[in-house]
Structure 1
Amino acid sequence: MRLLVIFFLFCSTVALAQQKPAMYYSDSGVIARPIAKDPKIVYFRGLYLMYYSVPGHNNQSWSIGIASSKDLTNWKKIGTITPAADYEKNGLCAPGALVKNNKVHLFYQTYGNGKNDAICHAISDDGIHFSRNATNPIFRPTGEWTCGRAIDAEVVEFRNRYFLYFATRDSSYKIQMQGVAATTSLNTSFNRNEWTQLVDSSILKPSLDWEKQCVEGASCVQIGKTLYVFYAGAYNNEPQQIGVAKSKDGVRWERMSDVPFLPNGKPGSWNESESGHPDIFKAQDGRYYLFFQGNNNKGGSWYLSKVEVKFDGKKWNIVD
């Protein structure tokens, strides 16, 4: 009997180890439980940098953690961006980032202000210490279609200018959906007066059953003349899952499937509660990785992981 118990314990340990992916990163340096959300990856000065959201005590005063890696799997925390300016005193999170002119540009949202949350911009020479844009917040949407809130910034170079994708809610504050703004050219400082809202409506809003009442967390990559967006459907832990859409102009989008590209995990898996908030990233060797957040306890903890993906000329596939 004792040998049988030992055998079952061994099998359970092996099963637990197998269900955890090679990349399984979280941050327990701010609060006791491990939480890291909203990953964004850039390659800068010979290292991969990952920016992510981390809460303060009682899930208030969110900040942005910074981790570095040489292999995109093993990460070490190297810094934190904490609230500093008055407009972000309640918190900041959901980072977007890009490298331009050998500097890291960070696009993030204010937190804890309801309909008044907006997109801000900061710049860094080393990827760790950031100077805020003097015109912050740089963007909030306008029009009867939106409550005026902007979160989950994604800024991407496309068709000789920068596109800013953001999530907002409708006037009832119930439906989360995507909007878009853009600069007039690539020669921009990303200041507030340089952004123009392109349409007075949502460009991508929930319409499929699995998306429920939310489409958020856009992350884009260009292949040829087409822009692809990986997005999160449904609110956290409903479960949130990841879909893909494509566009030729950055404004009109077509879903590539009616089912999630990356669903939540099976019962008992580490991401049973969701696979959410994607970041599509092209590594230095030309391979693509989809980073995302997941958990199996309805948000009691959060981990960041990745899967390798590949485009075959017609559709995206997960590499086994």
Structure 2
Amino acid sequence: MRFADTTAGVPYAKDPAVVRYKGKYWMYYSRGPFIDGRWGIGVAESSDLEHWTKVGEVPIEQECEAKGICAPGAIVLHDRVHLFYQTYGNFPKDAICHAVSEDGVTFAKNETNPVFAPTGEWNNGRAIDADVIVHEDCLLLYFATRDPKGEIQMQGVAAAPLHSEYGQADWTQICSESILKPELDWEGKCIEAAGMHKRNGQLYMFYAGAYNNEPQQIGCAVSRDGVHWERLFTEPLLPCGEPGSWNSSESGHPFLFADDDGRTYLFYQGNNDHGKTWYLSKAEIGWKDDLPYVIEEK
């Protein structure tokens, strides 16, 4: 699978999020900036997870979205697709927004957008790269933020009642410091783009380590409570490709999709030209003793 959006004139698609809804697969992704410089969110559909067709975009409508939107996370709850995405272009003031859809393409925005930005002296107030997961009676929202100097990217988490409207008043930050920040050499100064999965009572976070094209690669951590995390590996679970391969510059920004048959797929972005183009792809993830591994294509 190689998917890219050519709206901006070059192949460009980043930050995938995938759900199964009403008999189809839906992928939401960041598409490269138009001539006015604004990022947006594209919508593609598929019947087989391999072949994708762009079918729409999430419109830029609200005042907080004026400079652009991107980096969606998606989940099906209460028979609707819920999209959690970020504003773009406001740097320390970028925050998480929320929208819902009953057809997978047309979204109604939360009137309280943006619905979440972090507080505390440990971060700079920014929230990007959202993903959510149901845990106990809450919806947990994972986000990337930066240290007060804006240098180190790291992870935080907030929670909202499961049957709420996921508006601004519903979210409570449940960490007083970063829950996962870069420590390993290959992670550089960045951990972002949490891709969440729940399995046998444990939460798994597939995350991107290092900033784009350094190269960014994908690791994995595990937690029982959603707040305290332990890395499963000291090396990337999914590294960038070998020289000459399509993803030699990066394998980044993961999203873990669990299909109805129980098979799991890691969607991610990559390129081989240091970010001039971007493509989306996937790798099937296998599990042995509750440890994930990449199933190599034959």
Match in the other structure for 1:265: 241
Match in the other structure for 1:286: 262
Tell me which protein shows more strand as a share of its residues. 2
Match in the other structure for 1:11: none
Match in the other structure for 2:137: 160
Match in the other structure for 1:92: 69
Match in the other structure for 1:4: none
5 Å-filtered alignment, 1:130-141, equals 130-141=107-118
- Give the conservation status (yes or no) of the 8 Å contact 1:61–1:83: no
5 Å-filtered alignment, 1:163-242, equals 163-183=140-160, 185-242=161-218
How far is 1:59 from its partner? Answer: 8.1
What TM-score does the superposition give when structure 2 sets the normalisation length? 0.98
How far is 1:314 from its partner? Answer: 3.6
Question: Which letter does structure 2 place at the counterpart of 1:263?
Answer: P
How far is 1:283 from its partner? Answer: 1.3
What does the per-residue CA deviation read over 1:131-153, in whole Å, with 9 as the maximum and x for residues that have no partner? 11011110000011000000001
- The structure having more radius of gyration, on CA atoms, is 1
Task: Pick one of 69, 94, 97 that aligns with 1:120.
Answer: 97
What does the per-residue CA deviation read over 1:73-119, in whole Å, with 9 as the maximum and x for residues that have no partner? 11011101131111101000000111111111110000000100000
> Structure 1: how far apart are the matches of 2:253 and 2:59?
21
Match in the other structure for 2:51: 74
Match in the other structure for 1:38: 15
> Structure 2: how far apart are the matches of 1:59 and 1:209?
37
> Structure 2: how far apart are the matches of 1:38 and 1:231?
12
Unmatched tracts of structure 1, length 5 or more: 1-22
> Structure 2: how far apart are the matches of 1:60 and 1:244?
33
How far is 1:33 from its partner? Answer: 0.6
What is the DSSP-based 3-state SS (H/G/I as helix, E as strand, rest coil) of the residue aligned with 1:294?
strand
1:250 aligns with 2:226: yes
1:144 aligns with 2:107: no
Task: Pick one of 69, 83, 106 that aligns with 2:60.
Answer: 83
Question: Which letter does structure 1 place at the counterpart of 2:44?
Answer: A
Unmatched tracts of structure 2, length 5 or more: none
- Give the conservation status (yes or no) of the 8 Å contact 1:82–1:92: no
What is the DSSP-based 3-state SS (H/G/I as helix, E as strand, rest coil) of the residue aligned with 2:257?
strand
1:24 aligns with 2:2: yes
Root mean square deviation of aligned Cα? 0.9
Question: Which letter does structure 2 place at the counterpart of 1:267?
Answer: P
What does the per-residue CA deviation read over 1:51-90, in whole Å, with 9 as the maximum and x for residues that have no partner? 0001223682111000001110110111011311111010
What TM-score does the superposition give when structure 1 sets the normalisation length? 0.91
What does the per-residue CA deviation read over 1:150-178, in whole Å, with 9 as the maximum and x for residues that have no partner? 00011110122110000000000000000
Question: Which letter does structure 2 place at the counterpart of 1:172?
Answer: K
Identical pairs, percent: 53
Tell me which protein shows more helix as a share of its residues. 1
1:306 aligns with 2:290: no
Question: Which letter does structure 2 place at the counterpart of 1:119?
Answer: I
Counting matched residue pairs gives 296
> Structure 2: how far apart are the matches of 1:277 and 1:192?
26
